[in-house]
Amino acid sequence: MIRNPIIAANWKMNMTPTETEKFFSVFLKELPTSNLRDVVIAPPFVSLAKAADMLMQADSVKLSAQNMSQEASGAFTGEISAAMLLDLGCRYVILGHSERRSLYGEDDVVINKKVHAALAAGLIPILCIGESLEQRDGGQLESVLSTQLEGSLANVSTDAAKGIIIAYEPVWAIGTGRTASPEQAQETQAYVRSVLSRLYGAAASEVIRIQYGGSVKPGNAAELISQPDIDGFLVGGASLDPVSFAEIVRAGCC
């Protein structure tokens, strides 16, 4: 089974519209023309329109939001709906990032509602899961990941699940410079795929792309992506630099 790698940038709360314009003026020149991978950039909400403008001539790069409301519209001050994101040109939306879970109290019930709202609107969820160091050291790795997957994907059909991207991001590797070793990431992602197989069957689980996220850099990307169950990356810090991110896109590719 060949799964086309998907390399995504999560800019988090970085990059003004002006900085976004500067990023793309460099990144689009660095991007390989024979790029075979799916490339996705998730700017903050306020920079999506500028990113969409800059990508008019580069339809190989797709836009993602970093979060969205589970509600369709109405009196939800400060929230952003799936329809708004689609109208801005987004194809993807990151849901359940560990920072949303730990800093903003999002649990699997809320994330599941967001997954359904995104799918209903036609956005592709990039669903993040991952364990803390305490949970890993305490022997809870598998139960944490399977609980997150079961909860976030509750009542999602097999057909819909096949299109979802899963991002495995060990919390202890996010922004710490401490990457999971290729073997650790592979072993965990094979486990994630086994849970997907239990939920949706082996054939569907072979189609679903699973990204790795957590201190991915140009220097470790090629080795990580050579692992059979690592189908791409969700990159934080290193995606803010257009040259580094282009290098990660190129790693082991083309």
Site of interaction with ligand 13P (CB under 6 A): 10, 97, 169, 174-175, 213-216, 234-238
Least gap, CB of 148 to ligand 13P (angstroms): 15
- Closest residue to ligand 13P, judged by C-beta, is 236
Least gap, CB of 84 to ligand 13P (angstroms): 22
> Dihedrals φ, ψ of 13, to 5°?
-90, 60
By CB atoms closer than 10 A (0-12, 13-18, 19+), residue 146 is middle
Place of tokens 């109290």: 105
Shorter beta-carbon distance to ligand 13P: residue 24 or 170: 170
Task: Please confirm, yes or no, whether 116 is among the known catalytic residues.
Answer: no
Q: Are 204 and 161 in contact (CB under 8 A)?
A: yes
Task: Please confirm, yes or no, whether 97 is among the known catalytic residues.
Answer: yes
Shorter beta-carbon distance to ligand 13P: residue 93 or 199: 93
Least gap, CB of 155 to ligand 13P (angstroms): 25
From the candidates 79, 169, 187, 223, give the one annotated as an active-site residue.
169
Place of tokens 């023309």: 33
Shorter beta-carbon distance to ligand 13P: residue 174 or 192: 174
Taking the C-alpha atoms of residue 12 and residue 79, their distance in angstroms, rounded to an integer, is: 16
Single-letter amino acid code for the residue at 33? T
Handedness of CA 242, 18, 91, 80 (dihedral sign): positive
Catalytic residues: 97, 169
